[in-house]
Amino acid sequence: MSKKEQQEISRQLFGTDGMRGRANEGAMSAEVALQLGRAVGYLLYKKGAQIGRPRPQVVIGKDTRVSGYLIENALVAGLCSSGVDVFLAGPLPTPGVALLTQSRRADAGLMISASHNPYEDNGVKIFSRDGYKLPDEEELMIESLMHGQGCEAFGESHLEQIRPHHWHGSIELNQHRPIGNEIGRAARISDAIGRYNVMAKQALNSSVSLSGLKVVIDCAHGAAYKVAPQVLQELGAEVISIGVEPNGTNINDHCGATHTDALVARVGIEQADLGIALDGDADRCILVDERQQVLDGDQILAILGRFMQQKGTLKGSCVVTTVMSNLGLEAALKPHGIKVERVQVGDRYVVAKMRELNSNLGGEQSGHTILRDIATTGDGLVTALSVLGVMVQEHKKLSELGAEMQHFPQALKSFTVKAKPPLSALPKTSTLIKQVEADLVDQGRVLVRYSGTQQMARVMVEGQDVTQVNQLVQEISQQMLNEIETISL
């Protein structure tokens, strides 16, 4: 199979953050989830056999979506049919699944979640035995096993075009059929939340208490609805919890990290010191200060980067972020001798660069913050506790800390597209982008990309004049949309 053909396959299931799509159809059907479980199980079984390890073990966690039951049972069936023992953690934040995978010495961890997406969607994130997300080449290997040569779906690039019966598996995969005592077993992990609770508290120095602080936390009716308020209370804070009544269909519904209006209002009503917004799987965090101002991931990185640098704990005097982060982050960190490394969008790419540089702080503007001394992936609760620790130790309000970074005006527009052609296939859009970049010179930038998890395009323009950047982002977005519509006819 050629490299180009392999890249076509990889675009069908795995995006920038695992698999994601509408639950019970296409890529997130029970049939495909079953095949995913079989493929993952087969690879783990094969690896174990090569080094003489006993039967593989996999940890599975999920958020609170009603479709979690469907996907979970399909994955379990596929894994057990490949001779893998499965341990079910139930509703648990994504970083909790990474933690359990490490601490139980499991061979892999699977998190069933569509993160900040609406409840109708679901997804699967896969962790290696070290607690880090799978690299691209291993995801490609899984897809190749699921795909099978000669499959009719070959070359299709959109999730909604995937038909479950096309993913019949390779001959190699279908010949792997453990029987009798070799079939895997499944069991529940009774203390999953407790284990994660203990890990999360490591973000706060043991001498630091949150006593006297009033905190409002919005758990988005998601995976952290039990554990996050519990941890904050045990550390001494007065906690007001919202978004903690999941019913299977209200996850991320006008709440959480992508919808902060309710949290902002509640912080004002309660006269709280801090508001914390998590998303559905609790791997991201957005904060609200006592003045009801929202702090994004860039501001969080600025606060933690400066504090860690002063304490001598910021490895390499480096913060890793993505091309989406505001130029104001670099301006805030440079006076402290901290350099900023940028990578493509996706927390997995941030983590990969952090591992390469041995950096211990990185993240995204969207609120994924990775504190690698504590967690292997973004962790919203750990992030919030770390910022609370700075507030307590420096005796500062969050508004004071947030003011350390000033945003450059930035406009972002996301819109649905029929196709995702490369920019090289959109000559008018490419020309317009070059013209805008020339006009901005070194006082701004343009970023155009497709979502790795949704059928959407995103256009971002950054500069010094807010009116100008808003106008430019509209012009580029409209030109791109028109050109895609034309070539899609």
The closest of 227, 230, 225 to 247, measured between CA atoms, is: 225
What is d(CA 267, CA 216) in angstroms, rounded to the nearest whole number? Answer: 6
Judge whether 115 counts as a catalytic residue.
yes
Catalytic-role residue among 29, 113, 115, 359? 115
Dihedral in degrees, nearest 10, Cα atoms 216, 217, 220, 222: -150
Burial code (b: 16+ CB inside 10 Å, e: under 16) for 308-347 equals bbeeeebeeebbbbbebbbbbbbebbeebebebbbbebbb
Instruction: Measure the CA–CA gap between 97 and 90, rounded to whole angstroms.
Output: 10
Q: Residue 483: name the closest of 434, 425, 415 by CA.
A: 425
Please list, in sequence order, all residues whose beta carbon lies within 8 angstroms of the beta carbon of residue 150, skipping any fewer than 6 positions away. none
The CB-side HSE value for 337 (13 A sphere, CA atoms) comes to 9
Query: Cα–Cα distance between 192 and 328 in angstroms, integer?
Result: 39
Q: Cite the active site residues.
A: 115
